[in-house]
Structure 1
Amino acid sequence: MGACVASGRERADVTLIVVTKTFPAEDVRLLAELGVRDVAENRDQDAAPKAAACEDLPLSWHFVGQLQTNKVRSVASYADVVHSVDRTRLVGALSREAVRLGRELDCLVQVALDAGSGEAGSRGGAAPESVAGLADALAAAQGLRPAGVMTVAPLTGPYAGRPGAAFERLREISTGLRATHPAATMVSAGMSADLEEAVAAGATHVRVGSAVLGERPPLG
C-alpha cells in the first residue's frame, strides 16, 4: 500500500478492510480468492444474507455502520468486530446477544469528533469524553471485548475538511484508552478518500470500498 510507504510504516501494520456494500456475495468470494480476509458492511439488511452466503470462507466480518438496537440480534450472529459502539444501551444489547449465541465480539468505541459534550455525532459516535466509560462498560460486559476506537472524518465542527487533524486526535484518544485497556489497540480510521491521512496518523485498520472495488452501482 502506497500510503504505508509514504508514512514510513510497514504494510503489515495496517489491515485493509474491504467495504463491500452494494456488491454481491460473488464479489466477496472473488476478494477471498485474492487473499482478502477482512470485509465490512454498514447495513444489516445487506450484511446478514451476504455473510450467510459466504460462511464457508475464512473471513472476518466487520460491522461499520450506525447500529440500532433492533438489529443487534442479527449483527451479533455474524459480525466478528463491531466498529460503532457509541452508547451504553448498545453495550448491554450486544452483550446479551453475544452470551446467547456463545460468541465473543471485539467492539470499537466510535468517536464523534464533531460532537459537543454529551452529544452524539452527525454520523454516529460518542463525544471524546465518553470513550473511557464506554470502554469500561465493554470490558465489564460478558461476551464483549474493548478492542479500540473508530472514527469517521467529520463533515462539521473544528475538524471539518481536516481529516489528518481528526485522525491525529483519534490517535491521542487511542493512546489514552490503552493506558487503562492495553489490549484495545485497534485504530479504525480512513476510507477511500482519506486513507493516506489515516495511515500517517497511525490507523491500524482502514475501511476501503471504491478504491478496491470501483464505483458502486446505485442503490435500488
Structure 2
Amino acid sequence: MTDITSRLLAVKQRIEQAAQRSDRNPDSVQLLAVSKTRPAEDIRQAHAAGQRAFGENYLQDALPKIAALADLDLEWHFIGAIQSNKSRDIAQHFDWVHTVERVKIARRLNEQRPPGAAPLNICLQVNISQEASKAGVSPDEVLPLARAIATLPNLRLRGLMAIPAASDDVAIQRAAFRALYACQQQLIAEGFELDTLSMGMSDDLEAAIAEGSTLVRIGTAIFGTRST
C-alpha cells in the first residue's frame, strides 16, 4: 500500500466518522482530492485507490496533467482564481468550477463551453468571513449573482463554496460553515435547485460536515506536505 493510498483511506475514515456523528449518510459527502502542484503519478496512485474527483488551482499546472491522464475516467474541478484570459481553457477542460464570483467570468465560461459538452457545473465563491484578502462575493450579493447565472444555458449552478478565516476554534469554524449553509438555504427558498456545499479542508473537515458540507476539498491530508 502506497503512502497516498493509506492517507486517502484515513481521510475517508475521517469523513465517515464525522458524518456518523452528525447522523448523516457518509455517501452524502464527496471527497475532492486537491492535487495542485502534484505530479500526474500521484493522481494515478489516488485513482488506483478509488479516487475520481480532483481539484486544481493553477491552470498552467493542471492542463499537462489533464492531458497525461486522459486515459483515466477523472472528474476535474477548478478551485483557483479565474483570470479572464484563462477562462477558455477552464471552460474546455474542467467539469466543475468552484470559484465564480463575477457575472463577467460566468458569461465567458458560458460562451466558451464547447458545443455539445455537458453544462459546466458552477459553485459561487462566497467570502463568508468578510476578509479583505479573500476572494468571493459577500452573502448579500449571492442572490443577484445566482439569478444572473441561471440565465446562462451552458452553466449549471450547483451550490456555494467558501474558504472561511482560519481558526483552531471548532465553534468559530462551525459558525462560518453554518453561515454558508444559511446562504444556500436562502437560494433554495428562492427556487434554486442546489445540491452542493463545497466547504471544509484538511484541518476543518469535521466542522464542515457537521454544518452540512456535501464536498470537502482535501490536499495535504492525502498527498502530504507540498514541496512548492
Q: Per-residue displacement from partner, 1:121-170 (whole Å, max 9, x unpaired)? A: 522111111111111111101210111000001259xx9x9221100000
Which residue is 1:215 aligned to?
Answer: 225
How big is the shift at 1:22?
A: 1.5
Which residue is 2:10 aligned to?
Answer: none
Other structure's SS at 1:16 match? strand
Task: Name the Cα RMSD after superposition.
Answer: 2.0
Cα distance in 1 for residues equivalent to 2:116 and 2:66: 16
> Runs of 5+ in structure 2 lacking a partner?
1-14
Residue 151 in structure 1 maps to residue 183 in structure 2: no
Which residue is 1:67 aligned to?
Answer: 82
Alignment partner of 1:7 out of 22, 30, 39: 22
Q: Which amino acid in the other structure matches residue 176 of structure 2?
A: A
Q: Which amino acid in the other structure matches residue 66 of structure 1?
A: A
Question: Does structure 2 retain, via aligned residues, the 8 Å contact 1:86–1:109?
Answer: yes
Deviates more, 1:207-216 or 1:11-20: 207-216
Q: Per-residue displacement from partner, 1:73-93 (whole Å, max 9, x unpaired)? A: 111111111000001111111
State the 4+ residue runs in structure 1 displaced beyond 3 angstroms.
99-103
Deviates more, 1:187-196 or 1:131-140: 131-140
How big is the shift at 1:179?
A: 2.1
Which residue is 1:107 aligned to?
Answer: 122
Structure 2 matches for 1:54-93, cutoff 5 A?
54-93=69-108
Which residue is 1:127 aligned to?
Answer: 138
Judged with a 3 Å threshold, the aligned counterparts in structure 2 of structure 1 residues 62 and 181 are, in CA distance, closer, same or farther, namely farther
Other structure's SS at 2:113 match? helix
Cα distance in 1 for residues equivalent to 2:49 and 2:42: 11
TM-score under structure 1 length normalisation: 0.89
How big is the shift at 1:20?
A: 0.7
Other structure's SS at 2:150 match? helix
Deviates more, 1:99-108 or 1:50-59: 99-108
Residue 142 in structure 1 maps to residue 158 in structure 2: no
Cα distance in 1 for residues equivalent to 2:145 and 2:180: 15
How big is the shift at 1:180?
A: 2.9
- Provide the identity percentage: 38
How big is the shift at 1:95?
A: 0.8
Alignment partner of 1:162 out of 159, 168, 172: 172
TM-score under structure 2 length normalisation: 0.86
Cα distance in 2 for residues equivalent to 1:95 and 1:89: 10
> Runs of 5+ in structure 1 lacking a partner?
none
How big is the shift at 1:200?
A: 0.4
Aligned length: 211
Residue 197 in structure 1 maps to residue 197 in structure 2: no
Question: Does structure 2 retain, via aligned residues, the 8 Å contact 1:41–1:62?
Answer: yes
How big is the shift at 1:94?
A: 0.7
Question: Does structure 2 retain, via aligned residues, the 8 Å contact 1:17–1:40?
Answer: yes
